[in-house]
Amino acid sequence: MKIRTRFAPSPTGFMHVGNLRTGLFAWLTARNAGGEFILRLEDTDKNREVEGSANHILECLDMLGLNRDEGLDVGGPYAPYKQSERLHIYRAWAQKLIDSGRAYADPYTAEEVQAFREQAQQEKKAFLYRNHRPENPRAWDGTTPLRFKADPKSYTWHDEVMGELHTGPEVIDDFILIKSDGYPTYNFAHIVDDAEMQITHVIRGQEFISSTPNYLNLYEALGLELPIFATMPHIMNEQGNKKLGKRDGAKDVLSYIEEGYLPETLLSFIATLGWNDGTEQEVFTRQELIDSFSLSRVQKSGARFDEKRLLWMNGQFIRALSNDDLYKRVASYWPASAESADENYKHSVLALAKDRLKTLHDLPTLTTYFFEEPVLDMDLITGNKQLKKLATPDIIAMLQSAMDTFDDLSIWTPEAIQESLNNLLDTTGQKPGVLFSLVRIATTWSPFSPQLNDTLALMGKEKTLKRLENTIQHLSEA
């Protein structure tokens, strides 16, 4: 049997990590088994539709490299893959249910249903549509909802992630198949489509688990074989105590790209939200994921969304890139002053900064002073735990000795600079934390920089001396 999985998003706004993870796990399940991955757009709720969502979905999938074998943008033998273009198909399946006496025209107005609800409440009973089936339903003409006539019973079923699940007949009820606007409900349409499209694995979020017994009932009524079900665990906030919300980072996945995260980081990060390969490995390449993914290693319990881990992982992926590849990726992140700078120089700057980059966005902070004269910012000294304790004359004296030592250097290499920095520690009796921080700030005026000797070497002797001198002058005048 060829494994066929599908990702079936609704075009109702941006995709966050949770949505995309469902797509990723479906894609990985297919790729791991040499199966097929299908993209279907579930656009039957016209009230919730947000313009541009379908393109956004494609962009997100492309960003992670989740290629489709069939679907919305690539077509295939079961086209169309957009539910709003498949209404005739749902009609035909609905007719089968009408013919077998398993669907009826819902005769009630909203007010009448409300009255039933209140009555049930008074009687302290659960409200169920199936307790109000019309005795002589009229023929369905499409102007009222078409409702499924359920067959209440207990179910035990297997979920690849959640294990054995069991429910009683009380959860089974008559639900709407086709709404009065002519569109099918998700409950009906996805079952029809999954059957028509020969889907073998239904991989989706937890919000559908409570409806699954009703789906099982419908599969039976339609005489369909069951697919394999796999329910994804929730994604929790960093503390792990509640579901991830907007405030904890449930935002548009593409905004991470704008913030300077690499697509391969997001792929590995999202894959490890609730899945591991059974080892301690945390960072996975695309091929490693394909090779080792299995639904049986998806955990039941919620997965913690930890942005610090994402940031750390991004640093790992940045360092794993070749310098040339990284150079291409940072093209739009350089400070404006780097625009006309020499390419070779930029390559060298980037090679230095690479070790400290956590996101591509950090590039200007780490490199601007290589391209333009930095603006002196005394807060960097007064806000520094070690440096703020020093009196200005002592700072000036230290900078002056640094200038003198550097001035004496006949070769300007990282090694020579390091040696004179070490000598300076001896002559000034200062700790590296003090001396090196001071020299770094006085020459870069940036809160971070790559390693000091490398930075100064690349900056050049002349610039280094000039900047030290400027700082001394500024401090003397203050």
CB of 22 to ligand GLU, least distance (A): 6
Classify residue 325 by its DSSP letter.
H
Amino acid code (one letter) for 235: I
Between CA 293 and CA 295 the distance in angstroms is 7
- Residue 9 or 249 having the CB closest to ligand GLU: 9
Between CA 207 and CA 167 the distance in angstroms is 16
Q: Which of 124, 246, 328, 385 is catalytic?
A: 246
State the Cα angle at 21 between 198 and 60, rounded to 5°.
Answer: 90
Q: Using CB under 6 A, which residues numbered 33 to 92 contact ligand GLU? A: 42
What three-state secondary structure class fits 201? strand
CB of 189 to ligand GLU, least distance (A): 9
Written as one string, the DSSP assignment of 64-119 is HT---SEETTTB-TT---BGGG-HHHHHHHHHHHHHTT-EEE----HHHHHHHHHH
Between CA 395 and CA 384 the distance in angstroms is 13
- Residue 56 or 467 having the CB closest to ligand GLU: 56
| String of contacts with ligand GLU for each residue 180-199, x by CB under 6 A | ------x---x---------
Q: Which stretch binds ligand GLU (CB under 6 A): 7-15, 150-158, 308-316, 410-418?
A: 7-15
Our answer to whether residue 125 is catalytic in this structure is no
CB of 55 to ligand GLU, least distance (A): 16
State the Cα angle at 289 between 284 and 291, rounded to 5°.
Answer: 130
Side-chain half-sphere CA neighbours of 104 within 13 A: 17
- Residue 207 or 307 having the CB closest to ligand GLU: 207
- Residue 196 or 355 having the CB closest to ligand GLU: 196
- Residue 8 or 424 having the CB closest to ligand GLU: 8
Contact 221, 14 (CB under 8 A): no
Between CA 18 and CA 260 the distance in angstroms is 20
| String of contacts with ligand GLU for each residue 196-215, x by CB under 6 A | --------x-----------
Pick one of 4, 5, 9, 185: the residue that binds ligand GLU (CB under 6 A): 9
Pick one of 5, 10, 144, 265: the residue that binds ligand GLU (CB under 6 A): 10
Q: Which stretch binds ligand GLU (CB under 6 A): 6-14, 47-55, 362-370, 454-462?
A: 6-14
**Matching residue, tokens 């239904």:** 202
Between CA 298 and CA 160 the distance in angstroms is 9
Pick one of 8, 72, 162, 244: the residue that binds ligand GLU (CB under 6 A): 8
Q: What share of the chain is helix, strand, coil (3-state, %, to 5)?
A: 50, 10, 40
Number of residues that bind ligand GLU (CB under 6 A): 7
- Cα 167 to chain centroid distance, Å, stands at 33
Asked if 358 interacts with ligand GLU (CB under 6 A), we say no
**Matching residue, tokens 């008074």:** 122
Distances (CA, A) of 242 to 127, 152, 207, 234: 30, 34, 15, 9
Strand runs (DSSP E) across 365-438, as ranges? none
Q: Which stretch binds ligand GLU (CB under 6 A): 2-10, 163-171, 176-184, 380-388?
A: 2-10
CB of 44 to ligand GLU, least distance (A): 9
- Residue 56 or 190 having the CB closest to ligand GLU: 190
| Residues that bind ligand GLU in the complex, under the rule CB under 6 A | 8-10, 42, 186, 190, 204
| Active site members | 246
